[in-house]
Amino acid sequence: MSAPKPDGRVRDAHGKAGILAEALPYIREFTGKTVVVKYGGHAMDDPALAELFAQDVVLMRLVGMNPVVVHGGGPQICDLMRRLGKEPEFVDGLRVTDAETVDIARMALVGKVNRDIVTSLNLHGSYAMGLSGEDAGLLRVVPRDPRLGFVGDVSRVDPAVLERVLREELIPVIATIGVDDTGQAYNVNADAAAGAIAAALHAEKLVYLTDVAGIYEDFGDDSSLISETDVAGLQRLLGAGKVGEGMTPKVRSCIDALEQGVHRAHILDGRVAHALLLEFFTREGVGTVIDQRASRKGSAE
């Protein structure tokens, strides 16, 4: 007599058990490890994706990882500027940030975007703490270009406040406003800030959530998606002019972070539901991983 076939509920339960079993070795590998996630783009603008992001980050914390969230908010700054009667101005694609604009940026990033992310995470438990690069001298900057005004490049990261927050098993959520040595506030590119923070924390991973599937050998050709590459591969793509303007800060920050000791970087499509969990806890992964060993299908070398 043959055994009865499991009904649909049992099959679903078996499938879920299989997923958990597949995730177990990855959970063991990453327990206690710090992961810096740069959050932005469509994933932040879409409420449904924002909720999934919050679930992913809190789950990472609950299984023993130390997630650190870094965010910008360019569209939110532009929106607030226009609401206040000030039209955004750009030079070579970069926002001109006068004294009034840097105050607006602080209001948008620290007062609005940061609070929204912290609130979404804390709906799943009291885990998130909002910070700015101004807090405890976290992000020290130097001016980038006199034409841009108060736009800064990170010159130094003091990770002490983040290390204290992580020891308390909390999730730091960082708005990318920095200060110079006089205490003047500057707007900072969030991609660059995430890379610098990851390097200062000696993070296991640096992750960028974007609006594309990853890095392409030939952008627009879906079959040319690069699954895995290394620093040399990224440098080759940059040198060949194959990295788009929007991706360039991420790629350069990945190179800098890896050269300063971050073990691995990822560029993921934030429009994919649970992109973080798929990359960290499944065999296949998603997006592009940058490592010193290019072994997954689709190398840039």
Each residue's pLDDT expressed in tens, for the chain with a length of 301 residues: 455 555 555 555 555 555 566 667 767 777 889 999 999 877 788 899 999 999 999 999 999 999 999 999 999 999 999 999 999 999 877 889 999 999 999 999 999 999 999 999 999 989 999 999 999 999 999 999 999 999 999 999 999 999 999 999 999 999 999 999 999 999 999 999 999 999 999 999 999 998 888 899 887 777 888 989 999 999 999 888 888 878 888 999 999 999 999 999 999 998 888 989 888 887 766 889 998 654 444 444 4
**Dist. CA 221–CA 150, nearest whole Å:** 38
- The pTM assigned to this predicted structure is 0.89
Which residues are known to be catalytic? 38, 41, 74, 191, 250
Query: CATH classification of 37-290 is 3.40.1160.10, yes or no?
Result: yes
Would you say 50 and 123 are in contact if contact means Cβ atoms under 8 Å apart?
A: no
Residue 89 Cα distances to 80, 93, 98, 159, 164, angstroms: 14, 9, 10, 33, 38
